Structure 1
Amino acid sequence: MERISVETLRTWLESGQAVTILDVRPTAAYAAWSIPGSQHLDAYEALKAGQPGGLDQLALPKDRPVVTVCEAGLVSQRAAALLAARGFTAYSLEGGMRAWSLAWNTAPVLPEPGSSRQPEAASTTPEPEQRQVIQIRRTGKGCLSYLISDGAAALVLDPALDPTVYQQQARQCGWQITAVLETHIHADHLSRARALAAACGADLYLPAQRRVSFPFKPIADGQQLTIGRLHLQALHTPGHTPESTCYLLPGPPGRPALLFSGDTLFPEGLGRPDLDADPDEARRRVALLYTSLQRLLSLPDDSLVLAGHSARPLPFDGQPALTTLATVRGWLAPLLASPATFSAQLLSNLPAPPAHYQEIIAANESGEWPTVPPEELEGGANRCAVTL
């Protein structure tokens, strides 16, 4: 039995290498979050007790390696050893799902997937509409960030991964990161915005607020942020947090606008209003969110909604997670029929809060990196959305 790193497995999946991923965690843990395309066998307790848990009878293809997965990478070693004894090339995922929370993949938003146009280096002629966008997905956590460029200068929105990931992606495209931007103060992951801006010598922008204790350039409602030849408009949309802000990137004639909606609006849900808030404050934020959503629904129906999170693990398929505002309107408009209806639906469907969210908020407000490894604070399913 051998162990395999998260980065190696991530590379295998991104390159399309055939591999069987076998998750041996309890059923509830697997249902909460998992690696895209993995198989599941609830063998955790049996393996802990020294029993095979059904692995001795499990039929798996032998023409590809098997990677076993548990929560922290310990019980999965027993599973891999049992499979190796049966003649499989078996590996245990080092660090388990906690470590996998840092895995990532990418998908182009513009140019569109399948288009012959690809992000071009700065030395070539950029596409006529200038906008080029890559969705960078922290698949294990559901965090979505964006690398936005005019073909030369670039901006990173809501970075949730090590700064080197964004620097590498920009370098491959021939882009220079000149700005780093956040939609709000995050509660489910440690912000990498300050570190990325420092590493690139870029400007750091946050929505105007007094929560953070480090220097930044404030963005006010209606303000335009210019990056090269691109102009993003800030739309203050309080509700999930008081400072939550969406950013609108207009399209040229005949092309849709891009709405970077942060944690305010998701394809199938809304940003929860209760984190770090007492009941009275949560109800006040619900009222603010009601007004914010009406503002967003006033935008054109063909606007593409690019949220800050996904409620499901994102596969290595190169397809961006997005929807149109028209699709969102179909399920959201009935909820906005009245403030009372909206409040009742939202507050009655709140999921359990993210683990360690108070420590994460405190770190993001101070700008100080915690002493514990990030995966210990950030692990687990994404719980910033209310699905309605």
Structure 2
Amino acid sequence: MNQPNENMGIFADQLNEELLGENPLLLFDLRMKNDFEESHVDGSVHAVCDTQAKEKMMTKIPKNTKIVLISEPEDYALEIASMMRSFGLDAYYLVGGFSSWNGKITSGPTGKKITPDELAQKLDSVFLLDVRNTEEFTEFQIPRSVNIPLEKLFDANTISKIPKDKQIVTICPHGNRAMIASFALARAGIDSQTLVGGLAGWNQVLKAVTIVKDPIKIIQVQKVGKGCLSHIIESDGEAIVIDPLYPFEKYLDISKQQGFQITKVFDTHQHADHVSAARDLVKATGAKLYLSKYEGYNFDTNFIRDADNISFGKIKLRVIHTPGHTPGSLSYVVDEKYVFTGDILFVESIGRPDLRDNAEEFTEDLYNSLHNKLLKLSDNTMVFPTHHGEDVKSVNTGFYSTIKQSKKLPWLDISKQEFVRKVVAITRPRPMNYKKIIMVNQGELELIHSEIPDMEIGPNRCAVDVN
């Protein structure tokens, strides 16, 4: 057996003693995932130390916690331990590798996990523990989650504040820090589950809620973690989809379950906060794609403009050009009873006009679209936007309003001059990756599907805060 290198080596007997103790300890197994799941040191976590992990994770691991790395043979663990020490981490390697271990061995994947879809069904009953740093948490978070940065979870006083009577779900951007957090909690005798895919995975959960059932059907598809809304409108077995979201397979499942055919797909505008699934949905269904004539696209489509009428089933969709959020934003009036307003008019707010860097001009357009077009519709017209705020109570019943209710929103009863002054004065962060997302939706930049969750991570930030 080799001698420990530069005091970084730890023998199996010593590690066994430390695992039985109460001092903070992280145990990372660097072997292939299949080898890890076949057998591993009880309490260890499978870890991947590729370039991305090195860049993103090294600065996030607590510096006050002892780390032991396991590989087979020991050489790779020694290499990574040396690298970790260059980041100021207290890292060691198991001398002799995994084959030298003489303590308790277990099998299967690391820890307990909960999928984003499962979490969506349990939001009211779990304790959401977000282990990112404070700055990351402030940027965006799952509503009602509690922030305890990872490094603080190795402090006994902090852990004592975590409830013992609730299911604990640990959260981070992709699941890596959350997995370490669950390990730290387990060392303290607290059972927890890690959110699979982290916040990036959470942002891909789609929930369908039927809002109108007769004489037509309106199904709202909600991207729960992002606050995005999409709508399926069905009449006489034929359906259209407005502002489809990823994963687009959700729409295929719904149409199959409910026995209708998707024949037309629409976007209200070029989105800046999420990637449109319109083109993929069209490819999968053979439907026709309809997009705004007032916006540029680098792919073939059917362009529509103000006052166009499009029939489906037994009803018609009427196009209204409603610039303000973007120059080409469209709203769709269906059956003269329902209006789909994109990012112009929300349930609790209005769309922001500054994402294309022409805030004052676009704010005037926004005012005109609201007062001269949308608010002139019948008071009973139901309003379906493309985003919602953090009012998670509406998830089960849907997010919608009426024109009558919309007229009562703040700032819609003031002069145009005052409206422009107030809206332009507001400054707020823009959606993460918004420039790249716009390029993707224009057809100027291609993404593979696996890149979409990371591209969409973060809040939608498409509304003006008028409250």
The SS at the match of 1:91 is: strand
Instruction: Look up the match of 1:147.
Output: 232
- In structure 1, the residue matched to 2:294 is 209
Task: Tell me whether 1:4 sits opposite 2:81 in the alignment.
Answer: no
CA–CA distance in structure 1, aligned partners of residues 151 and 419 of structure 2: 42
Deviation readout 1:58-85 (Å, 9 max, x if unpaired): 22316xx432112332222232123334
Residue deviations 1:311-338, cap 9 Å, x none? 2274685210112222221125x54532
Contact 2:130 2:171 in 1 (8 A): yes
Amino acid at match of 1:329: K
Q: Could you tell me how far 1:44 is from its partner in structure 2?
A: 3.5
Residue 162 of structure 2 is matched in structure 1 by 58
Deviation at 1:192, TM superposition (A): 0.7
Cα–Cα, structure 1 residues 313 and 55, in superposed 2: closer, same or farther, change >3 Å? Answer: farther
Whether 1:136 and 2:221 are equivalent positions in the alignment is: yes
CA deviation map 1:277-323 (0-9, x unaligned):
2xxx3221111111100121111122221110112274685210112
RMSD across aligned positions (CA): 2.4
Residues 273-312 of structure 1 mapped to structure 2, 5 A cutoff: 273-277=353-357, 281-294=358-371, 295-312=373-390
SS of the residue aligned with 1:288?
A: helix
Q: Distance in 2 between matches of 1:331 and 1:9?
A: 33
Give me the whole-angstrom Cα distance separating, in 1, the residues matched to 2:351 and 2:390. Answer: 15
Amino acid at match of 1:361: I
> For the structure 1 residues 231 and 53, does the alpha-carbon distance in structure 2 shift closer, same or farther, using more than 3 Å as the test?
farther
| Residue matched to 1:180 | 265
Give the whole-Å Cα distance in 1 for the aligned partners of 2:124 and 2:407: 39
CA distance in 1, matches of 2:286, 2:444: 17
Q: Which amino acid aligns with 1:35?
A: I
- 1:341 match: 418
In structure 2, the CA distance between the partners of 1:239 and 1:16, relative to structure 1 (3 Å rule), is closer
Q: Which residue of 2 aligns with 1:34?
A: 141
Letter aligned with residue 370 of structure 1: L
Over alpha carbons, which structure has the higher Rg? Answer: 2
Q: In 2, are the aligned partners of 1:105 and 1:137 still within 8 Å (CA)?
A: yes
Q: Which runs of 5+ in 1 are unaligned?
A: 112-126, 252-256
Write the distance in 2 (CA, Å) between the matches of 1:381 and 1:352: 10
Q: Which residue number in structure 2 is paired with residue 377 of structure 1?
A: 455
Q: Secondary structure at the match of 1:286?
A: helix
Gaps of 5+ in 2: 1-109
CA deviations on 1:172-205 (whole Å, 9 max, x unpaired) are 1111111110000111111110111111000000
Match of 1:21 in 2: 128
Q: Which whole-Å CA distance do the structure 1 matches of 2:286 and 2:138 have between them? A: 41
| Letter of the 2:451 counterpart | P
Displacement after TM superposition at 1:247 (Å): 0.7
Q: Determine what percentage of the aligned residue pairs are the same residue.
A: 32
2:432 to 341, 349, 355: 355
Q: Distance in 2 between matches of 1:39 and 1:57?
A: 14
Choose which of 213, 230, 250 in structure 1 pairs with 2:315.
230
Structure 2 CA distance for aligned equivalents of residues 350 and 269 of structure 1: 15
- Name the amino acid aligned to 1:74: N
Aligned length, in residue pairs: 355
Does the 8 A contact of 2:305 with 2:321 survive in 1?
yes
Q: What is the TM-score when the length of structure 1 is the normalising length?
A: 0.84
Cα deviation, residue 90, structure 1: 1.8
Which gives a bigger RCO, structure 1 or 2 (Cα 8 Å, sep 6+)?
1
Q: 2:205 aligns with which of 80, 89, 103?
A: 103
